[in-house]
Chains A and B, each alone.
Chain A
Amino acid sequence: MLRYSVRRLLQLVAVLAVLSLLLFAWLRSLPGGPVSALLGERATEESRHNLRAQLGLDQPIFIQYLKFLGRALSGDFGISTGVQSGDSAVAIFVQRFPATIELAVIALAIAVAIGIPLGYMAARRRDSFLDNISVVSSLIGVAVPVFFLAYLLKYVFAEQLHWLPDSGRQTGDLEATRVTGFFILDGILTREWDASLDAFLHLILPAIALATIPFAVIFRITRAAVLDVLNEDYVRTARAKGLTQQVIRSRHVLRNALLPVVTTIGLQTGGLLAGAILTEKVFAYPGLGEAVALSFQKRDYPVLQMLVLTAAMVYVLVNLAVDLSYAVIDPRVRTR
């Protein structure tokens, strides 16, 4: 298993190398760029030319790429030109990473906590009213665009009812001590319970919006997997052996049905990053997704490069983690 992990990690290096080259070339082939972003209406041909020379943007692209690569390998991804000018891309990542993790964890928790039990119950009571309504709602979850749902939630619960905050991570004038950057955790650690609660309330609407797609997928996979397993011989055997329903359900049905579900959850984690771009933009939530959208809009090359490469890395690592987790759930994989 160690050898397997090492091989996968080497693949990751190759993926990142190819991706960084493509990304670098693609960004620079787009019209516009940091020069327009920095100079705006004040630009003259001369000032553009000077600035391009100063930033090294007039050099051949492969020289620029090699320089970027050299700096990136030493952990320097450059300084933001638009998202938060003056901050390094790495600092922006470090600062926004906890925000997105908080959001993604809560969204995934919602999706799992509702998706798996509902999928299981729908499969057990196939074609019942519960089953039908769940299938339809999961279809809606997949079909409705995340940003539309986000706007809708915001309009109803923040703008009209004023039940929940509409944007950001925490109320602006709340005095909160920052320790880890995970706001809920920070509030617990410092015993600023109101800060924790405030951060949690800010998460509810965006997390629900973000959870719809993974929820729908997890629900449907669970339902299908449980239906499959229920018809397996070993379930019938277990029943014949006289095992209690509870043991059959937890040890034989759920455990076997969970294998494809875990794969799905892993894949959905990657998808959450994509969903976070839209959700965070709508809720003005200062996480990585918002930074991706902003850095593209403002042609902030350093930040965009850093974020896309990191997202790719996370995606590959999550997939690796999913594969390894099979070993934990499925004893047959472990012994091999």
Chain B
Amino acid sequence: MTPPIQSRLLRRVAAAGLAGAVALSLSACAQSERDNSSSQSQGKVGGTMTFGAAGAPEVFDPFYATDGETFRVTRQMFDGLVTYKPGTADVAPQLAEKWEASSDGLKWTFHLRTGVKFHDGTDFNAEAVCYNFERMFDQKGAGQSESVSTYWIDNLGPGFKDGAKSALYKSCDAPSADTAVVNVNRVTSKIPSIFGLPSFSMQSPKALKDFDANNIQAAGDSFKYPSYALEHPTGTGPFKFGKYDKANGTVELVRNEDYFDSAGKAKLDKLIFKIIPDETARKQALKAGTIDGYDFPAPADWAGLKSDGFNVAVRPPFNILYMGITQKNNPKLQDFKVRQALAYAINRQQLVTSQLPEGAKVATQFIPDTVDGYNTSLQAIPFDTAKAKSLLAEANATDLTVNFYWPSEVTRPYMPNPRDIFGAISANLQAAGIKVNPVTKPWNGGYLDDVDEARADLFLLGWTGDYNTADNFIATFFGNPENRFQTKFSPWGQELADRLKAADSEPDATKRNQLYQQLNADIIQKYLPAVPISHSPPALVVSKNIQGLVPSPLTAEDFNSVSKT
């Protein structure tokens, strides 16, 4: 039965009244948080740059971070004891003005800048330096996980203060306010370079304490981070943390007006990172003017972006693409001649010319030529199918069959187009009479699992250097015989690891370089656990009105020098 007209009307009026009341009460408690007095008028002095980011930052505490999206943000807010000269991988002073090592190489004295303050107004001094190192060293529980304190474990660890495992780091002293001494347990080539890594940036001891920075917990399938890492990053850098507007996918940094170095003071008022996960969407956002730049444009887009008037800034190549060979499964691959045959079979020059961007180079060894210890006399293994065939015949391996893995759903700075690179190499191998079983899996969907668990005979992978030492490349690959090449199954795996460690521990720089040069030659001429393919330059792209961005080989650009017109 239909209700009488009046009651229906009444209900409608009541409903409208209720809705109105709700809206009113909401608006009564919803106050605009805008600061109308200053922000609008000041805004145009240095402008705002919006940079397209491929992903959300993991955390804002660089010590726990591992990925480029996080480091790009934290690098602007934090300084290290040292930094890298813009456009190079060379160490330069930052919070430490100068430094020296004791003659035995175990004691590093850093002379600090004075008058530097953290963003929360507290002083940066030697005590703060030691607080930072002790804080990194004193990780407990989940904080010791490889996926959390990754850079510590790889560089200053692997152990922690609890002593369960040994560590490179020993202790830190603050003999005076502007002198900090870092003691290490063995000599290494990595110091002082590693102190420029964002992970070892100097953070405010007060903020670390107040926001419980070390309180990290394993929870379900993941880790639970403390509020320091999520909301309160406090460094000395040219930009300060503004806000992370998750609902809009933007991270906002603002200029640090009190930056200690007037020459390094940020020119921009604001630096915004806008998260756009899809690469095509980033390109379109740049063209639409929503963002002013983004990282790693696909090499196939470079020419188009340039002709549209954008500035494609190509970085000096500081990476390596290699074809890995697994020592575990296929006994034929344990024969050096067979591995040599693989190297001779690949036409790397043609691969570089046809598949990789301008500026790419054939790799003669596993480190780029700007790294100390590069062996200039080493020639690339030439492309010689006949030689490959004869080597296979000598090794009784003319019937060689390999499963060859390549990753899908991914591009890496050293490998912009895995499918094409695989295609070219695979064709070369087949021309030398090798039977190739191609296997492809998504990068995060089985590729890395299978490669690390030695299911592949051959695979494509690479590395971008973190800092300028040979150790950061070749010891990362072969420094532990438990590696993805499974060199522990070869007679020379331990020998190679020991030699790498000896070179890293050599205090004399000249001798160390000689050791690395010899190692680089021997890795190719004696061991050949993988075939180095190429060094490929990654780029970033910015619009015409962005000036002062210096492309870094470490993909570690500082935005304080950037201005927008």
* Residue ranges of A at the interface with B (Cβ–Cβ < 8 Å): 30-48, 50-51, 54-57, 67-68, 71, 76, 78-81, 83-87, 95-96, 98-99, 151, 154-155, 158-159, 162, 165-173, 175-181, 183, 186, 188-192, 281-284, 286, 290, 294, 297-299, 301-302, 331, 335
Contact = CB atoms under 8 A, between A and B. Distances in A.
B530 interface: no
B154 interface: yes
Contact of A299 (B154, B444, B453): B444
Nearest to A296: B445
B248 interface: yes
Given A38-B147, A86-B59, A86-B223, 5 more contacts: A36-B443, A51-B146, A167-B284, A183-B247, A294-B277
B147 A51 contact: yes
A172 B445 CA distance: 33
Nearest to B250: A172
Interface string B267-300: 0001010111110111011011111000000000
Contact of B442 (A32, A35, A57, A84): A32
B449 interface: yes
Contacts of A37: 444
Contact of B222 (A36, A78, A158, A170): A78
Contacts of B274: 168, 172
A297 B30 contact: no
B245 A178 contact: yes
A190 to B, nearest CB: 4
B247 A30 contact: no
Given A30-B445, A172-B272, A331-B2, A68 B147 contact: no
Given A51-B146, A177-B30, A286 B222 contact: no
Nearest to A290: B277
Most chain B CB inside 10 Å of its own CB: which residue of A51, A168, A183, A284: A284
Contacts of A84: 56, 246
A285 B556 CA distance: 28
Contacts of A30: 445-446
13 contacts: A31-B446, A39-B150, A44-B482, A45-B482, A47-B147, A51-B147, A54-B142, A79-B220, A86-B229, A87-B230, A158-B288, A286-B246, A299-B444
Contact of A86 (B146, B230, B480): B230
Contacts of A51: 145-147
B34 A36 contact: no
A159 B2 CA distance: 54
A177 B34 CA distance: 7
A76 B229 CA distance: 21
A50 B284 contact: no
Contacts of A47: 146-147
B39 interface: yes
Contact of A169 (B32, B34, B248, B445): B248
Contacts of A331: 1-2
A311 to B, nearest CB: 20
Nearest to B276: A284
A169 B290 CA distance: 12
Given A44-B483, A83-B56, A173-B50, A302 B221 contact: yes
B31 A190 contact: yes
A173 B66 contact: no
B446 A32 contact: yes
Most chain B CB inside 10 Å of its own CB: which residue of A33, A80, A167, A169: A167
A35 to B, nearest CB: 8
Given A45-B452, A169-B248, A31 B445 contact: yes
Given A99-B247, A173-B50, A178-B247, A81 B444 contact: no
Nearest to B58: A85
Contact of A78 (B154, B221, B450): B221
Contacts of B303: none
Contacts of B221: 34, 55-57, 78-79, 81, 301-302
B33 interface: yes
B220 A165 contact: no
B17 interface: no
Contact of B276 (A79, A98, A167): A167
B280 to A, nearest CB: 8
Interface string B199-229: 0000000000000000000111111110001
A176 B154 CA distance: 42
B247 A98 contact: yes
Nearest to B289: A162
A302 B448 contact: no
B124 interface: no
Contact of A87 (B154, B246, B284, B452): B246
B150 A42 contact: yes
A29 B349 CA distance: 41
Contact of A46 (B66, B442, B482): B482
A37 B280 CA distance: 22
B112 interface: no
B290 A165 contact: yes
Interface in B478-518: 480, 482-484
Nearest to A37: B444
A282 B281 contact: yes
A175 to B, nearest CB: 5
A167 B30 contact: no
B30 A186 contact: yes
9 shortest A-B CB distances, which residue pairs? Answer: A31-B446, A78-B220, A189-B30, A166-B288, A47-B146, A38-B147, A32-B445, A79-B222, A190-B32
A48 B452 contact: yes
B48 A173 contact: yes
Contacts of A301: 221
Contacts of A54: 142, 145, 218
A175 B39 contact: yes
B30 A298 contact: no
Given A50-B145, A177-B30, A85 B277 contact: no
